[in-house]
Amino acid sequence: MAGTKILIVDDKNNIREVLSEILKTEGYDTVMADSGETGLISFREGHPDFILTDMIMKKVSGVDFIREVRKINQTVPIIILTAFGSISSAVEAIKAGADDYMTKPLNYDLLKLKISKILNEKSLEKENSNLRDNLEEKWGLENIIGRSPSMEKMSNLIKAVAPTKSSVLIQGESGTGKELIARSLHSHSPRIGKPYVVVDCSAIPESLIESELFGYEKGAFSGAEVRKKGRIEEAMGGSLFLDEIGELPLACQAKFLRVIQEHHFARVGGNGQVHVDFRLIAATNRNLKEEVARGRFRSDLYYRLNVICIKSPTLKDRKEDIPLLAETFLQEICRENNIASRMLEREELSMLMDYPWPGNVRELKNCIQRYAILGSLPEDIREYAHSRDNSPAGSSLHKNERELVEKALRDEKGNITRAAARLEIGRKALYNRIRRYGLTVPKGTVDSD
Ligand SMILES: Nc1ncnc2c1ncn2[C@@H]1O[C@H](COP(=O)(O)OP(=O)(O)OP(=O)(O)O)[C@@H](O)[C@H]1O
Ligand SMILES: [Mg+2]
């Protein structure tokens, strides 16, 4: 690996020089130190990626040197070089934190091999743990916003089910966050870091779905020039998310059911059995039970899937979450687009609370996006609020409100700030009402506007 810096610690000049030359021809950079003490200084200052140290040195022994290094760094790989036959000290070195040992006289080829192997393992480990951190951060439960009782219940269910191998069926209307739920099931399971494969059954034409799922052998049909792995095979060791499973054609349902029962299958055009190990997560916005009754979904597959069912609640059934969702989206969108952050007016928020949200959280998110950029809520949401205002119940409310606003303005002698405070609404909301009811603001105290 180019750019990898190896620290060589040995009190014998010639050994250091030879090692350094050999490692340089392999493309490594080297730093040398002639004792444990200087080795520690070079380690602190030079941040090497790898350490080779002799065991027997004057004053600080190799083992003590390793102990000191490990106090400040637990991950840098270390190989200790010991005299032939001193296995017990090699064991001691490993206990002190060395990754491996080599006996002298050194077999240089073996040493080179060990170094590259350890470096590879470490970098893979690092990559995996980065990946894991990222995934958890990006796809954890924290991303599912909502504190309503129905969301609390759901998140407890996710936490309980995620670590198991059980199939999960997620049911809920469009835009309620089924994909987020599927993702967080995977990232809270031991399978995190393993593949997470998504198949959107509604997006693949019926004629292609089998080869997409099961893969095919070379020559399975014209155009199949090489063997291709299917999505099921790609999910090996991880999770398979079948989105919109209600759209899966009946013939394919039967074939898929066999896979989950038998844990193996044949690629299209093949006989050999491929073993599979995946955790199945499925989602649908259809009522699968009804689909079963209508003969459009296999009942045996339905029962197999329905072991654990997570229902993602509609937004109108958890309206108390709207302010939190709206504010979070608003801040997020402002930050992403470098827009000065803004807040929703109380009146705007109450429009959002009134609206029935047929498109659920997705619709709310889009609406807030528009608000962040254009500064107003979409027409249909404002119209919905107005149409409610004009209903008979609304008009008496209106009349009441108009009188309240008039009175507040009168009492505060036209001071908008104080009138708004008295009404417990924002100033912008008060202006909106003044405009809506065509009120004139009494002259009195000059407002700072
Ligand atoms: N509880 C939630 N917290 C935060 N964001 C959410 C939540 N629910 C949904 N979203 C967001 O709303 C959008 C739609 O969610 P998602 O795609 O998961 O819905 P879905 O249920 O799969 O819908 P469909 O059935 O149409 O595929 C996404 O941008 C998602 O991030
Ligand atoms: Mg979806």
Q: Residue count of the chain, please give it.
A: 449
Q: What is the Cα–Cα distance from 378 to 383, expressed in whole angstroms?
A: 9
Task: Please give the number of the atom of ligand 1 that sits closest to the Cα of 179.
Answer: 18
Q: Is 314 in the pocket of ligand 1 (CB under 6 A)?
A: no
Beta strands in 151-194 (DSSP E): 168-171
**Nearest residue by C-alpha to atom 25 in ligand 1:** 174
Q: Is-contact 112 90, C-beta < 8 A?
A: no
Q: Is 175 in the pocket of ligand 1 (CB under 6 A)?
A: yes
The pair of three-digit structure tokens given for residue 299, joined into one six-digit string: 């009942």
Mean pLDDT of 48-65: 92
Q: Which ligand is nearest to the CA of 171?
A: 1
The pair of three-digit structure tokens given for residue 336, joined into one six-digit string: 């992403």
Q: Which ligand is nearest to the CA of 363?
A: 1
Mean pLDDT of 80-88: 79
Alpha carbon 29 to chain centroid, angstroms: 37
Output the CA torsion sign for 392, 397, 400, 404: negative
CA of 144 relative to ligand 1 center, distance in Å:
9
| pLDDT greater than 50 at residue 9 | yes
CA of 175 relative to ligand 1 center, distance in Å:
5
Q: Is 365 in the pocket of ligand 1 (CB under 6 A)?
A: yes
The pair of three-digit structure tokens given for residue 279, joined into one six-digit string: 């955790």
**Nearest residue by C-alpha to atom 9 in ligand 1:** 177
| pLDDT greater than 70 at residue 222 | yes
Q: Around Cβ 121, how many Cβ atoms within 10 Å?
A: 12
> Residue 20: in which H helix or E strand, if any?
helix 13-25
Q: pLDDT over 70 for what percent of the chain?
A: 93
CA of 113 relative to ligand 2 center, distance in Å:
48
| pLDDT greater than 50 at residue 447 | no
| pLDDT greater than 90 at residue 382 | no
Q: Which domains does the chain have, with CATH numbers?
A: 5-129 (3.40.50.2300), 142-311 (3.40.50.300), 316-389 (1.10.8.60), 392-436 (1.10.10)
Q: Which ligand is nearest to the CA of 198?
A: 2
Which of 292, 235, 298 shows the shortest CA–CA distance to 263? 235
Q: What is the Cα–Cα distance from 123 to 129, expressed in whole angstroms?
A: 10
The answer to whether the predicted template modeling score (pTM) of the entire model surpasses 0.75 is no
Q: Is-contact 194 237, C-beta < 8 A?
A: yes
Q: Is 144 in the pocket of ligand 1 (CB under 6 A)?
A: yes
| pLDDT greater than 70 at residue 87 | yes
| pLDDT greater than 60 at residue 270 | yes
The pair of three-digit structure tokens given for residue 399, joined into one six-digit string: 């009349």
- Residue 65 pLDDT: 95
Q: Which ligand is nearest to the CA of 170?
A: 1
Q: What is the pLDDT of residues 114-149, one digit of tens each?
A: 999 998 888 877 777 666 665 555 677 878 999 999
Report the residue among 180, 311, 321 best suited for mutation to probe ligand 1: largest number of ligand atoms under 8 A from its CB.
Answer: 180
DSSP state of 177: S
Q: What is the pLDDT of residues 357-373, one digit of tens each?
A: 999 999 999 999 999 98
Task: Please give the number of the atom of ligand 1 that sits closest to the Cα of 146.
Answer: 1
Q: What is the pLDDT of residues 160-210, one digit of tens each?
A: 999 999 999 999 999 999 999 999 999 999 998 889 999 999 999 888 899
- Residue 340 pLDDT: 82
Task: Please give the number of the atom of ligand 1 that sits closest to the Cα of 285.
Answer: 25
